[in-house]
Chains A and B, each alone.
Chain A
């Protein structure tokens, strides 16, 4: 299994698209830092999107980032987790089986003594690894660029009632990364499931991103009613509450729990489909 995972890791690593995506996630925090340094936001500037409710709005991240470089990764994560990071997750997940099928290589891979469950597990591990790596790179790049531009001080802004030590911010950054990534896991599992069904990775990726967009739009419409609370996308910005003086709980827990059934169902269907699939590509 380890050898198979290593093979799949290398296969993905040598793909130009992987490097382009990883370069983007490194560059975006740097560009945001340069923008904040050259044109510092005021305390009255916007909070980086959101609806002002408990699902991620209302925090002036760009202003905070200009006060402490430690907040640059959070501001970047906030912006990127709304769409770009979702696309990246769906790309790694949707690419896994469908790209092999698209190359015509799947039928050769499966003539090795590899159980289909084992191959799917290895592909899932690799997709999760690169999705996680993208999240980590956003944070690391943001920390480095932010620290150079604005220093690594704690945050103390009495007018906003905010006071956080360096240690507290770093802990919250780590938790934010985990929660932001986990908040996309349900949709990524959907992309992975589609990948087992298609011979075209673009179809799997676009299908999952499309589903995310639709659910996000529906989730913003109050008239949809309580059903939207069950969407995997509804609470995925809740980690921002960590920077509104809250500790882990409330909508953050709902976000964690909401992903679980989607992950189980989509991965289960993907496995069932792939095991019974006639491989012709």
Chain B
């Protein structure tokens, strides 16, 4: 009688693999994993619609829900001071933009940009029926959906689908671990990396014949740091959506994507090493990521959209300590980035947008912090044709004008998206956002 097949060498109850004392937690990521198909037109290795001098959009996610009121402070508003007896900023401390609004002093870097005409501050950005869950509201911002709809593709992903057929895989780059939902698309494009050294086939080290062998398997010569050849399998031409119905097999798809990984990995490392940063950046993760972005832009990658994330904005307790530090890091890093881009001759091509899943409540809570809210300001920074200044009416903080104690939105965030899509990236926005949203006078 045949012995049971798979039980002979097993000892299921052996628990040596688990260190008994240690408990390992799995952090719950706000940015999810999700399906990401890869664009596979044969022209992927050449730039079709992305030009090396084309406009670039840099998105910075402020993860956690940035408190707009303590960033762009309505310093002459009594309701603000009444609602925030301990965490409110004093009028004397704010960097005044006009008679009513001023920046938190941590945003000195932003003030320079504003004064130099490179920043627009959009008041009261949000959406109807705001959701106050990190997960769900982030999803809404990433997919540009109405609050009662559930989309899986991201708005940038739909931009890639609509405007980037045959684009290079590096047309979208996320500096981070996994693609954000904003990039999720039907013909997925875009790569994620923490740094050029990690986005590659990792051999054992220098003079590593393992890596050389890997390259030669993909048709590149072992000495050649630039894989350009065919993978040896059939790479079929595709049109339209990527499904395997178009005569392409799963193997073809894998061949193509593998080749793209190899080529984009080499290209990024080349570019990142070719250019040097000029400006002095502050110390920190965001600054490091922006340094890399500056080099990739100046090095001529065909990337159109960069995505970065800065965490730590979920300031339920002791907000002044944490939010001020986050804002300072943000402003100082962005200022250095714009200085760098200017010195590298690239600033006029770049527009940046910050966004956060929600603002925070008007009234402080009992822990010298604030809880999840709704509308908040957005910062747009740009070196080319940006209409600097304050956009949109300052939201009223009178209790009667609040919604459940939260700021009502005046500008739908999809108007901001529409503006950047149409006027900066020069692509129609209706198909991408589902309908037409009014644009704002930001560009041109």
Question: A and B: real partners?
Answer: no
